[in-house]
Structure 1
Amino acid sequence: MHTVLLVEDAPFFRKMLGDYLRAMGFKQVVELPNGQAALKHLASAERPDLVCLDLTLPDISGYDLCEHIRKNPGMADVPVLVVSARDLPEDKAHAEEAGANSYLGKPFTQDEFSKRVKHLLKNAPARRTS
């Protein structure tokens, strides 16, 4: 069972991405509107199998959130997909430096999103059981 943490401040995009993920068969999609909620969730919940996050959040940047995930030994190998309207080469480079595994610029199609998610999960390291 795959659990996805979806961090997106725009309600329309959050619902759309959540719907895309559920259409792909994900039963557990945790949708959060900001970085603080994501940090709180990550500290108290089971490790997600995938994190989808926006770069432009109202409190903590997606870059900082991604760096936090990478610095946590229990989550350092969780695939992170950045989904953002910020589509400049420097945005992509900064996301990569922060530890993002993939970057999808808005706008995109449901098919593009699905392919990116499947690719990330296929290439993710095997989940460790503790």
Structure 2
Amino acid sequence: MNSALKPLILVVDDEVDLVTLLKYNLEKEGFRVLTANDGEEALLLAEEQTPHLVLLDWMLPLMSGLEVCRQLRRSPKTRDVPVIMLTARGEEADRVRGLNSGADDYISKPFSPTELVARIRAVLRRAAPGLSDELLRFADISMDLAAHRVRRGGRDIHLGPTEFRLLRHFMQHPGRVFSREQLLDVVWGHDVYVEPRTVDVHIRRLRKALNETDEQDVIRTVRSAGYALDEKGP
């Protein structure tokens, strides 16, 4: 998918470490990310770039998340942008206040990145169905993430789960070279120990599936560096 078509998420929080973590996890899932550390900056960015969704912390310096949400709702440019409130407040009354201020959903800290991404996708599906049915394209390869289907030149490509995740990552970052270690982190996860050479095995399987009928090999091996999705071939 062209990067311009990837959903743009505005993350608003004054906890720098949390913002870094959220940015990493959201970009890994194929989103583009803008960040702001206070409400005033958030409103300026939202007006300038009109994100597809705002992740908004309740407790912010200068202006509360509730007030930011209200102002987003007043502006013609951002009144329809979905807002998910992030907060340590778990009381039902606080949740109601957040929703009454115009928020679309509400998630209490601490939360898992997996849960947050699922909630984001659910809100985006309701707000803009076309964004959540992400269709990735590269050369003659198309990948429908919603249907979990891959096609090349009109034929179906049958991939195992690991090969599917590898191809998804490559198609979300075409042309970029990833080391085996980076691919292990993204595809297998930080907490799983897998030999780096395992990546080579799955790359071979992915190549075999994609190049079944002697098509051009779009997986490029970069000596001493890793692999990339590239029409220049291996």
TM-score after normalising by structure 2: 0.51
Q: Does 1:10 align with 2:15?
A: yes
- 1:13-58 Cα offsets, whole Å, 9 max, x none, are 11111112112101x2111110111122223x12110000100001
Q: Secondary structure at the match of 2:86?
A: strand
* Structure 1 ranges of 4+ moved more than 6 A: none
Structure 1 unaligned blocks of 5 or more: none
Matched residues in 1 for 2:95 and 2:64: separation? 14
Q: Does 1:34 align with 2:38?
A: yes
Q: Give the Å deviation of 1:74.
A: 2.1
Q: Does 1:87 align with 2:87?
A: no
More displaced 10-residue stretch of structure 1: 31-40 or 96-105: 31-40
Matched residues in 2 for 1:90 and 1:60: separation? 20
Query: Percent identity of the aligned residues?
Result: 32
Q: Which residue of 2 aligns with 1:25?
A: 30
Q: Secondary structure at the match of 2:25?
A: helix
More displaced 10-residue stretch of structure 1: 73-82 or 47-56: 73-82
108, 111, 124: which one pairs with 1:108? 111
Q: Secondary structure at the match of 1:81?
A: strand
Matched residues in 2 for 1:120 and 1:20: separation? 17
Contact 2:8 2:51 in 1 (8 A): yes
- 1:55-86 Cα offsets, whole Å, 9 max, x none, are 00011000000001111122111110111112
- 1:71-106 Cα offsets, whole Å, 9 max, x none, are 112211111011111211121111101000000001
Matched residues in 2 for 1:84 and 1:21: separation? 18
More displaced 10-residue stretch of structure 1: 83-92 or 48-57: 83-92
Number of matched residues? Answer: 125
Q: Does 1:75 align with 2:52?
A: no
Q: Does 1:123 align with 2:126?
A: yes
Q: Secondary structure at the match of 1:112?
A: helix
Matched residues in 1 for 2:113 and 2:126: separation? 20
TM-score after normalising by structure 1: 0.90
- AA matched with 1:11: V
Task: Pick the structure with greater CA Rg.
Answer: 2
Instruction: Report the RMSD for the aligned CA atoms in angstroms.
Output: 1.4
Contact 2:85 2:103 in 1 (8 A): yes
Larger RCO (CA under 8 A, 6+ residues apart):
1
